Every structure is written in structure tokens, then in C-alpha cells.
Amino acid sequence: MVDLSTDLGAGRRLPNPLMTASGCAANGKELHRFFDVADLGAFVTKSVMADPRSGRGTPRMAETPSGMLNSIGLQGPGIDAFVDEDLPWLKSVGARVLPSIAGSSSTEYAHVAATLRASRAFDAVVGVEVNISCPNVANRGLVFACDPLASAKVIALVREQLPRDIPVYAKLSPDVTDITAIAAACVEAGADGLTMINTLLGMVIDTDRMRPQLGGVTGGLSGPGIRPVAVRAVWQVRQAMFEGRMPTVPIIGVGGVRTGHDALELVAAGASAIQVGTAVFNDPSAPVRVLRELCELLEAKGFERFADAVAVAHGR
Amino acid sequence: MSERAVRARVTQEVAEVIATRRVGAYQHITLVAPGVAELARPGQFVALAVGGETSGTLLRRSFSIHKVSPSGTYGGTVEIVVSAVGVGTRWIVEREPHDTIDVVGPLGKAFPLPTEPVACVLVGGGYGSAPLFWLAGELRDRGCHVEMVLGAASEDKLFGVVEARRSCDGVTVTTDDGSAGQRGWVSDPLPEIIDRTGAGVVYGCGPMGMLESITRVAQAHGAVAQVAVEESMACGVGVCMTCVMPVVGSDGKTRMVRSCVEGPVFRGDRVRWDAFDGGHARVPDDAVGAPKVGGH
């Protein structure tokens, strides 16, 4: 049996590296009908902001080759309802939770983090993912994660609000010139780890109506079609760590993972944990299936520990 | 069926196609899906994966359940009616007997049934009528007088006229072009039927514009409308947030709710029809968490 445990930084270890991806799993109840969410290394919740948010109008979705475009607009209940209802429920079923937080200003991120810390079910939280890269916001491509200074400011403010034993992950966008510069700025500002990648900004035209297909015009591209972009981003940042251009921190790989083989690609490129996102829409039990497949692959390849496979493709 | 599926009232199974036949403009498909068949109620739907495990067409296609037979010759079966309009539905209608399709279901909320034996009118647009025959049977078992109105653009796009005559106390057919029944829309004969039967509930299934007019007519004639919507969905299980629509809750507030888990059946007078326009549904300004000036 392969030792699947993985290190999340800040002294946190998870029993296995598989997670849901933010925005692809709601807040747990829906998928718990198909598998036990406590079997995951961690459950990553939908990005939550300070106040309730309706999200955008419809259509919110367009299918693309091996993927989809979405324009949800961060619909959510707001942090108060999240800590009163969603987080206690996840705790009640024994899930380890990695809440994803978002904000339209750096102070909003800090407020959301502080509310989370003060909440009664906070002991179910194993880390916090800071979504600085959602493309479905008013300023579109100009997300925090496109600017090293803006990213660093958000991460530093969130880091201040949370205890040292709660690792803070910065979720990065691949839609930048040099992702290693953003990654380095986040780590220097106090991020304990990096999640890569968020969706790519895309667009589809409805040729029947000759207008943009999405109500929100542009949207985030996800699914197996973007997996090579995720592998590239994880590889580049891990390479920068090896070369001493930035401190070495754990990376959570996400982007187009559908099978154990896909997960292993991201692991070999440098990811210490894996999130399964859009594949859930195709197969609601995909996260636990991918975990099983990854375990079988590692065993077949003779790995005794998952950790030994992390970044193994570098230098080969 | 696993213990989890029974508790969760939903299951995922690899279903074998045992029969598939052309009915007018549609394909009527029978699947062996005992778990779904055992759990399903009229108004619920199934979400089918397209093209197998490595398919590049990732999103599930959702279909209301036409009929279930929990203990058929082949084990429990589920029947659906498919209109082939795109790559996904074309793949599904091309399946032959003994091919398999990955099915998740039953999903969504069923039609609420009246506690008293009141008269009901069931209105179906095109193949939207698919779940209504099963519903008609359940209503008549409760002693309800049941009439049905089936409408479509033309005769070949009607579904279930013969079955309607078998399962209901009265059937009215309308077509836009007059190729079958009376020329016009389903909303044309509806006032007379509600008044004559003293119907307490009008059930509807079909395109949004039709559901809006059913709701308006029902309200004007003292009946409650229960409508099953057809929003496009990516997952069907409540996690993708794409199938939302503005609906007024019991607290009087409008929210963007998921039609896959809070629907597909809604009380017609709770739906914010004013927000729908040409394939878009906008967020009403008074909705909870609506964008402020400048947008999200």
C-alpha cells in the first residue's frame, strides 16, 4: 500500500493528496450523495465573499472541446452564512476543509479571513485558499493575480488574519506573462503554498444569434482541454524553486484532471496535491475515482510514498 | 443499490439501452437503470454522460423521465424522450440496443401532488409532455379528474397523443400550423378547460414562453400552476451553478436558484418571468446579492 500522505506546509499533513476544486463542488452536500467527502484529503469550497452575491445572469455556460466556459460571477451566500451553515455541516461529516475566499478589495479578503477564523467550526479548516484570480469579476482580465504587488498585498493581509498553523494558498491565473514572478511575490508576502491554475479567460460566439453566447460575454475556460497549461505552469514555478529564484513551498495542481494518469502528470511536474474540478460535472464521483487510480498507478510504478513522485520529472 | 444511494435518493449507474425507437420528430429510449427506476417520482430527471469515458464532450445532458418500470423483465427500466439538436443529443439517439450510457438520477424535485382529489390540467409543449402521462396516472390513482393539452409547432413535433387519450379523461391538441388538432397555442383552450373542470392545479412542461403563459392563464382562472423548466445545465447535480433562474422564495425575496436541485418544478407564480428575454435570464435588481452599479 502506497503512503499517500502529503505535506500542505505550516505543519499540516493530509492523509491523501486529492481535493475538490473551488467552484466545481459547491459546499459539499451535493457531492456527499455520491461519495464520502471525508475520504478526500481536503474539500475545497466555492469562493466566498463578504456579502451574499447573486452572480451573473444566464446563459452562464458554453461547452468547448474537452471543456467548458463558465461565467458564474462568484455567486454565493456570503461569509456569515458560510460559517453558520456550510462549514459546520462539513465539520459534522468529518471533512477537512480548505475554504476558498475572494474579495473585490484587499480589505474584503482580510474581513472574510477574520470572520472565518472567529467561527465556531474553524477547527475543520486545514488551510485557506485565496482566490486572487477569478476571471468573472467586473474588471475581467485585471485580476489581482495579474499584478505581483496587488497579489502580495492581498496575501499579506490574509496571512495576518490567520493562525500560523493554517497554511495560506494563493490561487494563480495562467493568463500572465511570467507566472513565476507572481508566484514569488505571493510566497514572499507570506503564502505557504500555491494553487495552480485558475481558468483561462475565453469567449464563445453563438452563431445562430450572432452574439456572445454567455450572458457575461467572457468566461473562464476549464476542463481537460487546459491540462497542458496547468502542467506547464506547475513545472515552471517548481523549476524556479529548484533554481533558487524563490523559496520552495508546496504546490496544489489543478486544471483538467480527469483520471489518475492526469493527476500523476501534475504530480511529476511538481504538485504535492491535486484538485479535480470540471471532471466532476461529467462524473460526480471523479475525485475519489482519481484518487484510486492515482494510487494504483503509483503502486504499479513502484513508488512506496506519494511524496517520492512529487516533481520527479525535473532533471530527467 | 448501495446504502448511500438509498439514503441520498440518487444513484449513478451504467445503463444498457434495451429499446430505442423513432416517435415523430423524437427518439424514445428505454434504459435498464434499476436504481433510478426504484427512486424516481414524476417530474424528476436524469443526466446522461455523452460519448464514453474519454469523450471530449464533457457535460451531461438532462432529460425528464417519461416513465419508470421498477420491476420489468430486464430489471428496472427508465424511459426518456430525446430531441436530437446538438452533438450530445445526436450521440444519445444513435445508441443501439445493448450499448451503454452512464446515467445519474433521479435528480431534482418531483411534481407536488394534491392531497385532495381536485381536477387537474396537464399541459405539454412538444416533447415536454414526456413526464405528464406518468403524472396523469398518479393523479387519477388519487381520484383526480385529469385533462391534458398537448401542443407543438406541427403534428410531427407532438408527443404522446395516443397515450394521452389512454391515460386522461380528456385531451385537447393544438398545433401552430393546424396540421393536427386546433390551430393555435396551448394557452388558447386552457381557460375553457380550467373553468369547465374547476381545475385546482395546472401542470406544465415545455419552453419558458409557454410556461409563462400557462402561469398567467392559471392565475386568472383561479388555479395554481406547477411548471417544470428546461434550463441548460452542465452537471445536473447542483454543483456547477449554471442552470440558475430568478425565483421568489417563501420569504418574498428573489434569488438566483438552481433549477436542477430547487427545481425543475416550480410554482409558476414564484418565477420571475419579467427577467427572461430572448434566451437570457437577467438578475432582477431586487434579487438578493444583485450586482450594484458597475456590475460584479
pLDDT tens for each residue of B39-63:
999 999 999 999 988 899 999 999 9
Phi-psi domain of B78 (left: phi exceeds 0; alpha: psi -120 through 50; beta: other): beta
pLDDT at A143: 82
Reply yes or no on whether the pLDDT at B286 is more than 90: yes
| Residues B121-169: tens digit of each pLDDT | 999 999 999 999 999 999 999 999 999 999 999 999 999 999 999 999 9
Tell me if A60 is assigned to some domain: no
Model confidence pLDDT, tens digit, residues B238-257: 999 999 999 999 999 999 99
What is the reported pTM? 0.96
Rounded average pLDDT over A172-197: 97
Which pLDDT score, from 0 to 100, does residue A139 have? 60
Binding residues of A for FMN: 22, 46-47, 131, 171, 197, 223, 255-256, 277-278
* A281/B245 touch (CB, cutoff 8 Å), yes or no: no
Rounded to the nearest integer, the mean pLDDT of chain A is 96
B26 shares its domain with B88 = yes
Residues A262, A9 contacting (CB under 8 angstroms): no
Beta carbons of A281 and B234 less than 8 Å apart: yes
Distance CA A184, CA A249 (A): 10
Q: What is the pLDDT of residue A295?
A: 98
DSSP symbols for A26-44: TTSHHHHTTS-GGGSSBEE
Closest CB to A55: pick one of B59, B232, B241. B241
Q: Which of A24, A134, A146, A295 is catalytic?
A: A134
**With contacts defined as CB-CB under 8 Å, which chain A residues touch B287?**
54
Q: What CA–CA distances, in Å, run from A263 to A9, A178, A271, B198?
A: 20, 24, 9, 61
Residue A187 lies in a domain: yes
Supply the pLDDT for residue B6: 77
Answer whether residue A24 is part of any domain: yes
Instruction: Tell me the residue type at A233.
Output: A
Minimum distance, in Å, between the CA of residue B81 and any CA atom of chain A: 21
Q: At CB < 8 Å, which residues of chain B contact A? A: 4, 8-10, 12, 49, 56-60, 88, 102, 104, 231-232, 234-235, 237-245, 255-256, 261, 275, 278-283, 287-291, 294-296
Residue B293 has pLDDT above 90, yes or no: no
Instruction: Indicate whether B220 and B161 sit together in one domain.
Output: yes
The CATH number given to whatever domain includes residue B27 is 2.40.30.10
Domain count, chain A: 1
Does A289 score more than 60 pLDDT?
A: yes
B285: containing domain:
231-296
Binding site as annotated, residues of A: 22, 46-47, 70-74, 131, 171, 197-199, 223, 255-256, 277-278
The pLDDT value given to residue A140:
55
CATH number of A254's domain: 3.20.20.70
Tell me what pLDDT residue A12 has: 96
> Is the predicted pLDDT of residue A138 greater than 70, yes or no?
no
Half-sphere exposure of B295 (CA within 13 A, CB side): 13
Looking at the fold, whether B25 and B70 belong to one and the same domain comes out as yes
Query: Mean pLDDT, to the nearest integer, of A222-228?
Result: 98
Which of B107, B141, B159 delimits the end of a domain? Answer: B107
More confident position, A138 or A258: A258
Clarify whether residues B27 and B84 are in a common domain.
yes
Q: Distance (Å, rounded) from C-alpha A118 to C-alpha A137?
A: 27
**Which of B43, B76, B107 is the last residue in one of the domains?**
B107
Q: Do B108 and B100 meet the contact criterion of CB atoms below 8 Å apart?
A: no
Whether the per-residue pLDDT at A279 is higher than 60: the answer is yes
Mean pLDDT of A94-118: 96
User: What is the percentage of chain B residues whose pLDDT exceeds 90?
Assistant: 90
Domain count, chain B: 3
Q: Which range of residues forms the domain containing residue A256? A: 6-55+73-199+223-309
Give the CB-side neighbour count of residue A168, counting CA atoms within 13 A: 31
The CA distance from A164 to the nearest CA of chain B, in Å, is: 32
CATH number assigned to the domain comprising residue B214: 3.40.50.80
The residue-averaged pLDDT of A5-15 equals 96
pLDDT for B86-101, tens place per residue? 999 999 999 999 999 9
**Nearest-angstrom CA–CA distance, A282 and A305:** 30
| Domain C-terminal end among B55, B86, B107 | B107
What are B269-278's pLDDT values in tens digits?
999 999 998 8
- Name the residue of chain B whose CA is nearest to A219's CA: B242
CB pairs under 8 A between A and B: 138
Q: Among the listed ranges A3-7, A200-204, B53-57, B292-296, which one has the minimum average pLDDT value? A: B292-296
Mean pLDDT of the A4-28 span: 97
Tell me the Ramachandran region of residue B54: left when phi exceeds 0, alpha when psi lies from -120 to 50, beta otherwise.
Answer: alpha
CB-based contact A82:A27 (threshold 8 Å): yes
A134 is catalytic: yes
Asked, for residue A207, whether it belongs to a domain, the answer is no
The verdict on B209 and B266 lying in the same domain is no
Judging contacts by C-beta atoms under 8 Å, the chain B residues touching residue A56 are 283, 291, 296
Chain B: closest CA distance from residue A73 (Å): 7
Residues B61-72 pLDDT 10s: 999 999 999 887
Residue A315 is predicted with a pLDDT of 83
Does the pLDDT value for residue A43 go beyond 80? yes
Position A102 in a domain: yes
Question: Can you give the pLDDT at residue B295?
Answer: 52
B191 and B134 in one domain?
A: yes
pLDDT > 70 fraction of chain A, expressed in percent and rounded? 97
Contact A215 B59 (CB under 8 A): no
Calculate the CA A293 to chain-centre distance: 21
A277: its cell numbers: 474540478
